[in-house]
Amino acid sequence: MSTLVTERDYMDSRVIRVSRKRQITIPLKFYEALNLGDQVECSLEGGAIVIRPLRRTDDEFSVEILKDLVSKGFSGDELVREFETQRYRVTEAVHRLLEEADRIADGIQPASRFDDVFDPED
């Protein structure tokens, strides 16, 4: 059930506890007001952690995949088969990234640095 977010809701605040695993529980009032699902976007902005509803949907990934496949000349049944293959690959890649993020959050795996990923010498 979603409720309308008012200016008063933006001024409302709560003190919440951070667990040993660096996890927090979003107050139900905030969760419902923003109509959050099982994933959110989290960013660091001006010294604050900002949590927003996740706006990118599977449909957006699907459109991007289809655009790419059409630009490569796929059509008809071949397009459908390749789309299903690519969509599966994207879904699996996202699951791997989420699992890696969980391992990093749990302190099991160190986070990569920018230079590790985008090393100018490679």
Average pLDDT over residues 50-64: 77
pLDDT above 50 (res 1): no
pLDDT exceeds cutoff 70 at 56: no
CB 90 within 8 A of CB 69: no
Return the pLDDT at 91: 80
What mean pLDDT comes out for the span 53-62? 71
Question: What's the CA gap between 79 and 36, in Å, rounded?
Answer: 34
- Closest of 36, 52, 55 to residue 44, by C-alpha: 52
pTM: 0.46
Give the model confidence (pLDDT) of 68-117 as tens digits: 999 999 999 999 999 999 988 888 888 788 888 888 888 898 888 877 77
In order of their start, the domains of the chain are 1-54 (2.10.260), 56-115 (no CATH)
Give the confidence band of 25 by pLDDT, cuts at 50, 70, 90.
very high
Q: Is the pLDDT of residue 2 over 50?
A: no
Which residues have CB under 8 Å from 107's CB, separation 6+? Answer: none
| Rounded Cα distance, 104 and 38, in Å | 19
Sign of the torsion angle spanned by Cα atoms 45, 63, 3, 28: negative
